[in-house]
Amino acid sequence: MVIIGIVGFQGDVSEHSDILQRLSREEGMEISVRLIRKKEDLEGIDGLIIPGGESTTIYKLLKQYSIYDLIKERIERGLPVMGTCAGVILLSRDTGDERVEGMGALDVRINRNAYGRQINSFIDEVEIKGLGRFKAVFIRAPVIESVENAEVLSEHEGNAIMVRSGNILGMTFHPELTQDIRIHKLFTDIIGGGGYSSTGT
Ligand code: GLN
């Protein structure tokens, strides 16, 4: 049984939860999903998802409920994390916006609103290393402007859109808004790869 937490303040929380439930049904995996809103919720989780939404809002609430630093610390200790869209902004080293402090878990520099406003949302087929073609949904997506110490798993028009650094996965699009479970499966494979113990020190 793996316990996967989803930062549960705002954004695509139920969509991530639904896709994890599907993954668990279709792949016969035992996944328990837990919404993370306070310190105690972090106890015993094996992996964490930071969903798409509004990074300034999610950031504010993580701070307000005093779990921003705790999450950052756990990531530094090896907790596997996946951030989608606003989530990858929060995981970045440089968000390009002083209103949101990145956790520095992914060595990337972000431009939050490079694609402009809502009107610039789009869907495109992209190629993901190890997974193949994937329908990527971009909604007011941030742009990853530079990548230092991370592996680029996918690019779109010359910019990285999906990166991995050890146990950390980040992407500027929303796999939770498709019916495609492959990216969540990749994340559970990373969790299953081990190395992190929620009870260890
Ligand atoms: N641009 C948004 C932000 O800065 C992210 C959009 C999204 O997650 N769909 O938070």
What residue ranges define each of the domains in the chain, with the CATH number in brackets? 2-194 (3.40.50.880)
> Which residues lie closer than 8 Å to 98 by C-beta, 6 or more apart?
none
User: Is residue 160 over pLDDT 60?
Assistant: yes
Distance 28 CA to ligand 1 centre (A): 32
> Which residues lie closer than 8 Å to 66 by C-beta, 6 or more apart?
39
DSSP 103-158: -SSEEEEEETTTT-SGGG-EEEEEEETTTEEEEEEESS--EEEEESSSEEEEEETT
For the segment 106-141, what is each residue's pLDDT rounded down to a tens digit? 999 999 977 665 557 899 999 999 999 999 999 999
Do 137 and 117 form a contact (C-beta atoms < 8 A)?
no
Taking the C-alpha atoms of residue 76 and residue 23, their distance in angstroms, rounded to an integer, is: 27
Instruction: Give the mean model confidence (pLDDT) for residues 143-157.
Output: 96
For the segment 30-54, what is each residue's pLDDT rounded down to a tens digit? 999 999 999 999 999 999 999 999 9
Q: Does residue 176 have an active-site annotation?
A: yes
Q: Does residue 16 have an active-site annotation?
A: no
Q: Does residue 156 have an active-site annotation?
A: no
* pLDDT of the residue at 119: 54
Read off the amino acid at residue 16.
H
Say which range, 16-20, 27-31, 54-58, 88-92, has the weakest mean pLDDT: 27-31
Which numbered atom of ligand 1 lies nearest the CA of 142?
1
